[in-house]
Amino acid sequence: MKKAVVKESKKEEKKDMGLGISVKKSQDLPTWYEQVCLKAEIADFGPVKGTMVIRPNGYAIWQAIQDYFNKNIVKPTGVRNAYFPLFIPESFFKKEAKHAKGFKAEVAWIDPEVSGEGERIAIRPTSETIMYDSYSKWIRSYKDLPLKINQWCNVVRWETQATKLFLRSREFLWQEGHCVYETEKECNDDAVNYIKLYAKLCEELLALPVIAGAKTEKEKFAGAKTSYTIEAFMPDGKALQSGTSHNLGQGFAESFGLKYIGKDEKEHLPWQNSWGISTRLIGATIMTHSDDKGLVLPPKVAENKIVIVPILIGSDNSPLKKAEELKKVLEEFNPILDNREGYSAGYKFSEWEMKGIPLRIEIGPRDIKENKLIVVRRDNGKKESLSINKELSNNINKILESMHKEMYSHAKNFLNTSIVEAENMKDLIKSIEDKKMVLVSFCGEESCEDNIKEKTQGASSRCIPLELKNKKLGKCIYCDKQAKYKLYFARSY
């Protein structure tokens, strides 16, 4: 009878706390993904349609991305962080026609009656126009170039109706870099370099493999000469644009009066690029690595890399005392000590698995006698016994490093096996139905791109890969004209 009562108590405990994912990732990914975000306390839905709340667990991931970015991208490339206004006069948008047309459906406006400004004011959907107005005042000579500025901010894209946490919302966080150069070569070289640095960030920090490439004319950024992208591929067979970089040419410079006196003492228009990643990367990371138990985080992006759970048996409190000592010894990993009363060890295991803590340390009376502890990896559940000695921190670092490499390798293998080639429309349509990313020869015509999207029921061009070896072009998969390049097609978010 006593055992039955305890068993029922544990069931009620789990039910009351709302732990556990109710659907499998392989069967209903959208519901599974939403539950992981909510139950791992990464995010919540906001009260206004299309908005979301980033909870501390989620914001810690964004902070890790910012920290890596500022150290490895901003500083080495000579960029400086700044901040520009959220509110943009409508007249600024009208200065660059293609740009204004591209964002027409997305802008949230404040009417003149409310703003008192005499014209409508846009709530920032992107910052080219507001930043370049300032640039036109700051740039006078070639000595002022290159000008490289980045800002961390929020943006609003009002066309979004249904919120998909981190993947699509009316308001989201991002960084946007905006640089000005003397020559097009400098400008484009940097635009390509930034997209490669984004790919490196994804691999080194998020264990997330991506494909870097250029966008087609149809898919490029409004007002850009050339657009570059990194594309991730999610478990449901959809591509996710995870970062972009654009060679903006001289169009914005002309529209906003950006001119400089060159070494030849003549007036010139500079060249510009812009580049950005957003909190969408958090969604890509969650969807790629997490499982049916909940969140799985790459170690480098986890705020708390360890949770210590003392295993108490009877009145023996020695595991708790030892756990407190370990918390101090392992301080560099920002460990959580779960010494809560009234919760079983099993319940604690499930909760921290749900929240994605990379390593769990278990220590009980027997472990203390042997001067050892048990380390359990979140990604694959593997257990390892470690001696409690001066090498403990080094050994844990090795486990975390191995965990990151294996998570990346697993995700990379999924990406590689999801990429197929097609030489005719029948194979392309079949491969898209099979949830693949498909590499084809393509002529570059927008009409062919539109027709392929219609025939495949929604597959769009993702990118022209920057690095592709020993691939013959052949004929366009749709019109049979000579192809200009190889191109990936896939359904997307």
pLDDT digits (tens, 9 = 90+) for 284-302: 999 999 999 999 999 999 9
Q: What is the pLDDT of residues 141-183, one digit of tens each?
A: 999 999 999 999 999 998 777 789 999 999 999 999 999 999 9
Instruction: Name the maximum alpha-carbon separation found in the chain.
Output: 94
- Range of lowest pLDDT (112-116, 189-193, 384-388): 112-116
Least confident of 102-106, 184-188, 321-325, 328-332: 102-106
Q: Are strands 108-110 and 87-89 parallel, antiparallel or unpaired?
A: unpaired
**C-alpha distances in angstroms, 313 versus 5, 316, 387, 470?**
19, 6, 21, 63
Other C-beta atoms closer than 10 Å to the C-beta of 469 total 5
* Phi, psi at 101, each rounded to 5°: -65, -40
Domains (range + CATH), the chain: 29-84+101-108+130-289 (3.30.930.10), 304-397 (3.40.50.800), 419-492 (3.30.110.30)
pLDDT by residue (tens digit) across 202-223?
999 999 999 999 999 999 998 8
Nearest to 309 by CA among 354, 342, 340: 340
Spatial CA neighbour of 250 closest among 299, 182, 315: 182
* Confidence check: pLDDT of 350 > 80: yes
Residue 309's DSSP bridge partners are: 362
Q: Which two tokens stand for residue 174?
A: 């991002």
pLDDT at 15: 42
CA dihedral 420, 424, 429, 435 (to 10 degrees): 0
Please tell me the least confidently modeled range out of 80-84, 111-115, 480-484.
111-115
Sign of the four-CA dihedral 95, 99, 103, 108: negative
Alpha carbon of residue 45 to chain centroid:
19
Portion of the chain with pLDDT greater than 70, in percent? 96
- Mean local confidence (pLDDT), 317-324: 94
Cβ proximity of 295 and 40 under 8 Å: yes
Answer whether 367's CB lies under 8 Å from 374's CB: yes
- Residue 34's SS3 state is helix
| Stretch 422-436: mean pLDDT | 97
Supply the pLDDT for residue 19.
66
Average pLDDT across the chain, whole number: 93
φ and ψ at 424, to 5 degrees?
-150, 165
- Residues 329-353 have a mean pLDDT of 96
Contact 288, 408 (CB under 8 A): no
User: In whole angstroms, what is the distance from residue 464 CA to residue 467 CA?
Assistant: 9
- In the chain, what is the straight-line distance between the N-terminal and C-terminal CA atoms, in Å? 53
Q: In the prediction, which pLDDT does 163 show? A: 85
Look up residue 212 and give its amino acid.
Answer: A
pLDDT by residue (tens digit) across 97-118? 777 677 777 899 999 999 888 9
**Residue 330 in contact with residue 357, Cβ under 8 Å?**
no
439-464 per-position pLDDT tens digit: 999 999 999 999 999 999 999 999 99
Read off the pLDDT of each residue in 406-423 and give the average, rounded to a whole number: 98
Flag whether pLDDT at 6 surpasses 50: no
Assess contact for 137 and 261: CB atoms under 8 A: no
Q: Do residues 276 and 329 touch, judged by C-beta distance below 8 A? A: no
The answer to whether residues 288 and 301 touch, using CB atoms and an 8 Å cutoff, is: no
Element (H, E) at 241: strand 238-249
- Give pTM, 2 decimals: 0.93
Q: Alpha-carbon Rg of the chain, whole angstroms?
A: 26
Calculate mean pLDDT across residues 230-242.
97
pLDDT for 232 beyond 80: yes
